[in-house]
Structure 1
Amino acid sequence: MSKFHLNIQELVQGEFVMNKVNIAFVFQVNCPGCFIYGIPIMNELYRSFKDKIGFIGVATAFEDFEYNNKANLKLLLNNGTLVGETKKYYTTNYGLSNYLDIPNFPTAFDRITSSEQFIDENKIELICNAIPNFINFSEKEKEILVTKVKQYYSQIPVIAETFTLNQLKGTPSFIIFDDKYNILEQYFGHQNGDILKTRLEYLLS
């Protein structure tokens, strides 16, 4: 069973309390889809399950670093301030420069590091182990792959750890995990809130 690697820089809002069932919502502030399809669902789930399930939002950054940063996350949480493409979407379609459905759940900012800080044997091993059938590779194949992974990440100047270590496909992403960080369910992109709610109810039972 895969593990969820939660490597955050700072808890900006609320407190993450671990439960037998937990859900992480990984998003970017410069990601309109995260606001359209993600935050409202997470807010509703939090209202329904906050006494039974651990909740953590993780604002991350794998692009557009001038927008996807801790300062803009704080502005969002404080008064709904929108930036970048997200602001453009809501201004163009709704005449809004501030988001009305501000996240009500505990929210952190991902740990952002340089490639030099990020690349070590443990982290590279975590990434390689996430590759299907890596365990069955020959020692030579493993060695070649490890070298390629190191070379790839050495060319990326800024790396978000939670996003990268979990090899997420993008944002928004929802990860449901237990109190030992075992991943129970994982979802990417536009999701049906009722399906997520039903799944959480099943896991609680």
Structure 2
Amino acid sequence: MSKFHLNTQELLQGKFKVNKVNIAFVFQVNCPGCFIYGFPMMNDLYKLFKDNVGFIGVATAFEDFEYNNEANLKLLLENGTLVGETKKYYNANFGLSNYLDIPKFPIAFDTITTSEELINSNKIELICNIIPDFANFSEKEKENLLGKIKSYYAQLPVLAETFTLNQLQGTPSFIIFDDNYNTLGVYFGHQNDDTLKTKLENLLH
């Protein structure tokens, strides 16, 4: 069972308490789909399960760093300010420049690091360990793979740790995990409203 690596900066909203069942919602502020599908569903789940499930939102960045940053996350949480493509979508479709359903659950910004810092830390090995059967690779195979991973990330100026270390596909992403940070489920993109609800209900019983 893989581990969920939650590497965020300080919480900007709420207090995150680890429970036996937890859900992390990884999003970008410049991601219309995160607001169209992700936030409404997470707000509904929070109302239903907040007494028994740990909730945390993680604003991340793997592109459009001029929009996907901590300053814009703070503006979102303070008054619903939208930016970039998200603002364009809500302005064009609803005449809005502010998000009306501001999330109530705890939210933090992902830890942003340089590629050099990540490559030269033992955290890079966490990425390798996600690869199936990596433990059974020969030392030469491990060495070659590690070299390829380092070369790839060396091309990127900055990296978001939670997004990168968990090798998430994109945003929105939903990760369900236990009190030992063992991953119980990973979901990417638009989800049926009942999918995560049913998963949480089953884990709680």
The answer to whether the superposition gives a TM-score over 0.5 is yes
Contact 1:46 1:105 in 2 (8 A): yes
Tell me what 2:102 maps to.
102
Distance 1:78 1:183 in 2: 31
Structure 1: 5+ residue stretches without partners? none
State the identity as a percent: 78
Distance 2:111 2:66 in 1: 16
Matched, 1:139 2:115: no
Superposed CA deviations along residues 135-154 of structure 1, whole A, max 9, x for unmatched, are: 22221111111111111111
Tell me what 2:2 maps to.
2
Tell me what 1:189 maps to.
189
CA deviation after TM superposition for structure 1 residue 73, in Å: 0.3
One-letter amino acid of the counterpart of residue 41, structure 2: I
Distance 1:10 1:114 in 2: 18
TM-score by length of 1: 0.98
Contact 1:10 1:111 in 2 (8 A): no
Distance 1:29 1:138 in 2: 41
Distance 1:8 1:119 in 2: 18
TM-score by length of 2: 0.98
Secondary structure at the counterpart of residue 96 of structure 1: coil
CA deviation after TM superposition for structure 1 residue 199, in Å: 1.0
Q: How many residues in Structure 1 have an aligned counterpart in Structure 2?
A: 205
Secondary structure at the counterpart of residue 122 of structure 1: coil
Distance 2:97 2:110 in 1: 25
Distance 1:122 1:40 in 2: 37
One-letter amino acid of the counterpart of residue 114, structure 1: T
RMSD: 0.9
Secondary structure at the counterpart of residue 43 of structure 2: helix
Tell me what 1:31 maps to.
31
CA deviation after TM superposition for structure 1 residue 103, in Å: 1.0
Superposed CA deviations along residues 5-60 of structure 1, whole A, max 9, x for unmatched, are: 00001211000001000000000000000001101100111111111000000000
Matched, 1:79 2:82: no
Distance 2:109 2:103 in 1: 13
Runs of 4+ in 1 over 4 A off after TM superposition: none
* Worse-matched range after superposition: 133-142 or 59-68: 133-142
Contact 1:10 1:110 in 2 (8 A): no
Secondary structure at the counterpart of residue 187 of structure 2: strand
Distance 2:46 2:104 in 1: 8
Structure 2: 5+ residue stretches without partners? none
One-letter amino acid of the counterpart of residue 158, structure 1: V
Distance 1:126 1:171 in 2: 21
Pairing 1:167-178 to 2, within 5 Å after superposition: 167-178=167-178
CA deviation after TM superposition for structure 1 residue 121, in Å: 4.6
Secondary structure at the counterpart of residue 75 of structure 1: helix
CA deviation after TM superposition for structure 1 residue 132, in Å: 2.2
